[in-house]
C-alpha cells in the first residue's frame, strides 16, 4: 500500500471469527478508526440511550437490529471520522440492504471501499471462542479463558480493570447468532466478490497468523 493511500476496509465473518481482534491490531498498525456496530450498540445499551432502548432486545437474542437504526449509526460514525485516513468496519454490513446503503453513503462522501476481508473458519471452535471470551470493562482489551487467558483470573493485564462476559455469549444466543449470520451473509459475499474487492482469509490459525495474512493483502494494494 502506498504510504499516502487511505485504507477503507470491511471485515466479514461468523460471530467469534476474530473480527474485533483483527480490527484492534489493524487500527494500531494503520492508525485508522475501528467502527464496530456491535460495540456501538453495546455502549448505547449500557448508557440507556434511545438507540440502546430500541436495540436491546435484538442484541440480547442475537437477532439483527433493524437496518434503519444501524445505517444511521454508521452514518454518524463515518461523519465523525471523516478526517481520518480510512476506517475498519467490523460487523457492518450484515445483509445486502446494508451493503448497498454503505455504497450510497460512501458515494455521497466521494469515497470507495478498498477491501472486503472474509475471515473463514470451522464452526466447531466458535462456541469455545465465544463462551470463553472476556472483555475488559475499562479499556476494552479482549481475552479468552481457553486461548488467551489473563495472568490473573478476571483482571485485565493492561489496566487491571475487571473482565466481563458479554450477555449474548451464551450457547443458546451464540447458536442463533450463527444461524442469523448464515441467513443473511451470502448475498453480501457475492456483492463484494462481483466488485472484485473480496479476499478470504483462513481464520483457523492463531490471531498473529490471521493478522499477517490480512496485512499482506493490504500491503499489495
DSSP 84: S
Contact flags string 132-171 toward ligand AP5, x per CB under 6 A: xx--------xxx--xx-------------------x---
User: Judged by CB under 6 A, does residue 58 bind ligand AP5?
Assistant: yes
Neighbouring-strand partners of residue 115: 9
Among 8, 51, 78, 92, binds ligand AP5 (CB under 6 A): 92
Task: Single out the residue of 51, 102, 177, 214 in contact with ligand AP5 (rule: CB under 6 A).
Answer: 177
- Contact predicate 36/26, CB 8 Å: no
Binding mask 113-132 for ligand AP5 (x = CB under 6 A): ----------------xx-x
Active site residue 47: no
The window from 75-83, 90-98, 108-116, 155-163 that contacts ligand AP5 (CB under 6 A) reads: 90-98
Active site residue 8: no
Q: Which H or E run includes 90? A: strand 86-90
Nearest by Cα to 71 from 111, 105, 34: 105
Strand order in the sheet with 115-120: 34-36, 86-90, 7-13, 115-120, 198-202
Task: Report how far residue 98's alpha carbon sits from residue 15's, in angstroms, rounded to the nearest whole number.
Answer: 18
Minimum gap (Å) between residue 3 Cβ and ligand AP5: 28
Q: Decide if 35 contacts 74 (C-beta within 8 A).
A: yes
Q: Which residues bind ligand AP5 (CB under 6 A)?
A: 13, 15-21, 37-38, 41, 58-59, 62-65, 70, 91-92, 94, 98, 129-130, 132-133, 142-144, 147-148, 168, 177, 206-207, 210
Amino acid at each position: 500500500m502506498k504510504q499516502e493511500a487511505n485504507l477503507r476496509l470491511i471485515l466479514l465473518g461468523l460471530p467469534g471469527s476474530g473480527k474485533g481482534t483483527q480490527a484492534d491490531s489493524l487500527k494500531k498498525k494503520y492508525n485508522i478508526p475501528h467502527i464496530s456496530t456491535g460495540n456501538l450498540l453495546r455502549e448505547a445499551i449500557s448508557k440507556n440511550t434511545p438507540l440502546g432502548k430500541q436495540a436491546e432486545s435484538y442484541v440480547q437474542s442475537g437477532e439483527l437490529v433493524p437496518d434503519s437504526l444501524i445505517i444511521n449509526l454508521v452514518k454518524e460514525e463515518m461523519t465523525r471520522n471523516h478526517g481520518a485516513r480510512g476506517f475498519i468496519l467490523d460487523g457492518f454490513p450484515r445483509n445486502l440492504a446494508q451493503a448497498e446503503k454503505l455504497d450510497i453513503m460512501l458515494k455521497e462522501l466521494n469515497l470507495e471501499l478498498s477491501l472486503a476481508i472474509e475471515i473463514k473458519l470451522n464452526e466447531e471452535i466458535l462456541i469455545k471462542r465465544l463462551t470463553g471470551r472476556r472483555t475488559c470493562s475499562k479499556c476494552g482489551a479482549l481475552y479468552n479463558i481457553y486461548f488467551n487467558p489473563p495472568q490473573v483470573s478476571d483482571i485485565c493485564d493492561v489496566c487491571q480493570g475487571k473482565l466481563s462476559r458479554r450477555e449474548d455469549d451464551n450457547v443458546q444466543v451464540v447458536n442463533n447468532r450463527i444461524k442469523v449470520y448464515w441467513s443473511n451473509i451470502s448475498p453480501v459475499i457475492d456483492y463484494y466478490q462481483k466488485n472484485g474487492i473480496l479476499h478470504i482469509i483462513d481464520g483457523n490459525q492463531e490471531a498473529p497468523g490471521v493478522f499477517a495474512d490480512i496485512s499482506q493483502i493490504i500491503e499489495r494494494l
